[in-house]
Amino acid sequence: MNDKRTSAKVKIINGVPRLLINDTPTAPIIFFGNTDIGHFVTEQVSMAALNGFHLHSCIYNLHFSEEKPVTCKSNAQETQDEISDLRRCLDAVIDGDPEAQLFLRVKVGAYFRKAPDEWKNQLIVYKNGSVYPEGSEICLVSTASDKWADAVEIKLKRIVEYIRNSDEYKHHVACIHLENCEWFEYGFRESGSDMSLAADNKFMEWQKRKYGAGYNSVPVPRDLPNNISSELYKNTLLLDKCEERFIDYFDYINDLVSGRIERFAKAIKDASDNQMMCIAFYGYLFELADCQSGHYNMRRLLDSPYLDGFAGPVSYGDRTKASPGGAMGATSAYMTAMDTVARNGKIWFQESDQRTFVNNAPDSPWLPNIPSLEDIFNVHRREIGDIMLHGCGIWVMDLAAYGWLYDNAIWENLAKLKAEYEETIESGPSSFDAVFVIDEKAESIVGQPSFCGISGNLISAFRYEAYRAGISFAFAEITDVEAGLFDDARLYVFLNPYRLSPAQSASLAARIQREGKTSVFMYGFGMTFPADTSLLTGMDIRLTEPGTTVLYITKDGDENGFVPSNRGNEVTHRYTVSEYETLYGIYNDGRPAVASKNHGNYTTVFYGGTFISRENIRALCRIAGCHVYSEDGDVVVTDGKNLIYCATAAGIKNITLPGKSNVCSATDGKVYNNITSLSTDMKQGETKRLILSAMI
């Protein structure tokens, strides 16, 4: 019997965070089987193992029984029940793969259909007084509940200590994956924020810490702005004095959620003598587009020694039944600033919960099944190619336990892709031409968030355009641009620059006002002082009349490749620009909306729209001197050394290279020498990975 306990960690190798299992660099490609449901887990694990995959993920639920009270103290019967369930989950995987290394997803939430008496005053309570969000029969204990947090910490330590001391399991569990409704506030989209007594008390504690013990703290505001379109808040941005209480609440909820995750991660590290990894669902900055979710304090967790990484599904927005091509022509875009995660030495894991036709799986009412093996191969080629470039990991997932991956041909294809990934483990970091930059703290001053407000366009929809702009791009959080982690970029697009302090503005200016750099500031500046706006742009950008952010293009704009945009938002805070050099676009009332200024060795651009199209991204890239690889509107991911090309639609695809290059297709082995462009006929969803070698 193997007596060695598994150790797992993330280590920087040649500038890239890499997964090490028992000190061996390992491709972070994982199979997830749903042990909550239990069907087809062992069978698919076995199939994966036969093809060389020994990293697996499964689900274990902490016990918060409705039938009997759950105490924070160790209870013999409670412990026995928990351990029995844990063994069932682990055995379902290990029975299929005796060499399994597990990422154990631990669901820490206390869910009830009818809560026992001891938890009734700890439940989330919505504005209407109900403990059940709209459309649900399940209630959940509040994240603000200290009683719940104390219980979770004890339970996590208990299961980690059991695993580490068990001869059966100590060499099988590499990582604990913390899960609680994916850590966004349960039911917040449907029913709003938590207004329970636990939430009130925690929010008032937070105010005392911020403002001092003598501050007259208040409960959670009952009139919070929300993301329900029928009740859209009156102001686009929260700039009035009376709205500061809303901003406080939004800052608080993100501190609370990130703090809970950090606390539980520390418990795991302590109980495992720092030998287990810990990751969490967190940082869905672009997908949720709403700070009420609690996902907007990544900085805390990026700086924490207790978190090794983060996870989230591939974006849903462009792979629904309403999307052209469904999953085949989609982007599989990241929900987060994935390059910020990598450059902070941690790993982001993409959750590929793609539905497939395999095993006669029923079609989803929302997300279509991938209809053929060839299409599945191409989706996996796109997703694994993408994570290779961005230093990330992935698990392919049978979420519904239908057997979505129960076909050996799928695993043979994945094995080839895994081998390609393994070839890159010793290679250095990628560099990208353009960086799309989000300020997570700025979202707390948005009064109209999510998809019915400005954030849906500004910080969510832009991703699908960036992927189809045909450029080299990264996603970053603003503090890492300040810190110089993205000095390699030529173009910076600041998506929400409306909460910058003077110190932040000065540090940003020092980074972006350098030789050959172009900076674009989207929409407006909100709370950022006019002096700092001037410092950053060299232009005069001011509030103007409320109205639409739909854009019309000037002659100069047309000549520089800009196109009109009839996609925008009606906003109460709209910004116009003066003291510019070149005007590219105007609002419907003729006021200047898109303009640039050349400062000699660097350029700044103001883009007053709330939506940016792929055509206008290309126009900005050309202003910045960034290469455009394709204008065909297909999915392109590249760092200039590797290029992933996925055809959103069928047809002849034209790829233009920055200079003479030798090109090798990792997909079919074809070699093209000494070329500056490449044309190829592709089916919808077909994906190629091209290795680019510039001629000297």
Closest-CA residue to 350 (of 141, 680, 637, 549): 637
Q: 25 and 170: one domain? A: yes
Q: Please give the span between the terminal C-alpha atoms of the chain, in angstroms, as a whole number.
A: 55
pLDDT digits (tens, 9 = 90+) for 435-448: 999 999 999 999 99
CA dihedral 467, 471, 476, 482 (to 10 degrees): -160
pLDDT-derived band at 230 (thresholds 50, 70, 90) equals: low
Three-state SS annotation for 304-365: CCCCCEEEEECCCCCCCCCCCCCCCCCCCCCCCCHHHHHHCCCEEEEEECCCECHHHCCCCC
CATH of the domain at 684: 2.60.40.1180
Q: 515 and 597: one domain? A: yes
CB atoms within 10 A of CB 429: 18
Whether 553 is in a domain gets the answer yes
Whether 563 is in a domain gets the answer yes
Q: 387 and 489: one domain? A: no
The pair phi, psi for residue 59, each rounded to 5°, is -110, 135
Q: 664 and 602: one domain? A: no
Closest-CA residue to 231 (of 444, 450, 443): 450
- Strand-pair partners of 8: 21
The count of domains in the chain is 3
pLDDT digits (tens, 9 = 90+) for 536-553: 999 999 999 999 999 999
Which of 604, 624, 644 finishes a domain? 624
Whether 217 is in a domain gets the answer no
d(CA 134, CA 462): 30
Contact 438, 337 (CB under 8 A): yes
Core vs surface per residue 286-314: b (16+ CB within 10 A) or e? bbbbbbbbbbbbbbbbbebebbbbbbbbb
CB atoms within 10 A of CB 543: 16
Which of 423, 455, 477 finishes a domain? 423
Average pLDDT taken over every residue of the chain: 94
Q: Is the pLDDT of residue 695 over 80?
A: no
Element (DSSP H or E) covering residue 103: strand 101-107
**Percent of all residues in the chain with a pLDDT value above 70, rounded to a whole number:** 97
Whether 218 is in a domain gets the answer no
Q: 460 and 537: one domain? A: yes
Q: Quick check: helix, strand or coil at residue 448?
A: coil
The residue assigned the tokens 């979420």 is: 399
Strands 173-179 and 277-281: parallel
Whether 210 is in a domain gets the answer no
pLDDT score, position 325? 75
Q: Which two tokens stand for residue 202?
A: 């925690």
Q: 481 and 589: one domain? A: yes
Q: How many CA atoms lie within 13 A of 102 on its CB side?
A: 32
pLDDT digits (tens, 9 = 90+) for 556-597: 999 999 999 999 999 999 999 999 999 999 999 999 999 999
Q: Is the pLDDT of residue 91 over 70?
A: yes
pLDDT score, position 189? 85
Q: 28 and 159: one domain? A: yes
Q: 288 and 325: one domain? A: yes
Helix 244-271 crosses helix 146-164 at what angle (to 10 degrees)?
20
The pair phi, psi for residue 123, each rounded to 5°, is -80, 155
CATH of the domain at 554: 3.40.50.880
**Percent of all residues in the chain with a pLDDT value above 90, rounded to a whole number:** 89
User: Which whole number is the average pLDDT over 386-399?
Assistant: 97
pLDDT score, position 530? 97
pLDDT-derived band at 69 (thresholds 50, 70, 90) equals: very low
User: Which whole number is the average pLDDT over 82-105?
Assistant: 96
Q: Is the pLDDT of residue 509 over 60?
A: yes
What would the DSSP string read from start to end of 113-173? Answer: SS--GGGGGGB---TTS-SS-TT-S-EEB-TT-HHHHHHHHHHHHHHHHHHHT-TTTTTTE
Q: Is the pLDDT of residue 66 over 60?
A: no
pLDDT digits (tens, 9 = 90+) for 179-192: 999 999 899 988 98
Max distance between CA atoms of the chain, in angstroms, equals: 77
Q: 399 and 440: one domain? A: no
Q: Give the C-alpha distances (Å, rounded to integers) separating 573 from 539, 552, 608.
A: 18, 19, 11
- Strand-pair partners of 586: 552, 592
Q: 410 and 461: one domain? A: no
pLDDT score, position 77? 64
Whether 228 is in a domain gets the answer no
Q: Is the pLDDT of residue 68 over 60?
A: no
Q: Is the pLDDT of residue 252 over 70?
A: yes
Q: Which two tokens stand for residue 310?
A: 């983060």
Which of 624, 649, 677 finishes a domain? 624
Show the domain range for 252: 8-109+142-188+234-423
Q: Which two tokens stand for residue 481?
A: 């641009």
Q: Is the pLDDT of residue 290 over 50?
A: yes
Q: 585 and 687: one domain? A: no
User: Which whole number is the average pLDDT over 13-32?
Assistant: 97
The residue assigned the tokens 């302590």 is: 270
Q: Is the pLDDT of residue 2 over 80?
A: no
Q: 528 and 639: one domain? A: no
pLDDT score, position 517? 98
pLDDT digits (tens, 9 = 90+) for 338-386: 999 999 999 999 999 999 999 998 888 889 999 999 999 999 999 999 9
Whether 206 is in a domain gets the answer no
d(CA 593, CA 595): 7
The pair phi, psi for residue 289, each rounded to 5°, is 50, 40
pLDDT digits (tens, 9 = 90+) for 622-657: 999 999 999 999 999 999 999 999 999 999 999 999
CATH of the domain at 323: 3.20.20.80
Element (DSSP H or E) covering residue 575: strand 574-578
Whether 305 is in a domain gets the answer yes
Q: Is the pLDDT of residue 67 over 80?
A: no
- Residues with Cβ < 8 Å from 427, sequence gap 6 or more? 14, 16
Most confident among 64-68, 81-85, 317-321, 485-489 (mean pLDDT): 485-489
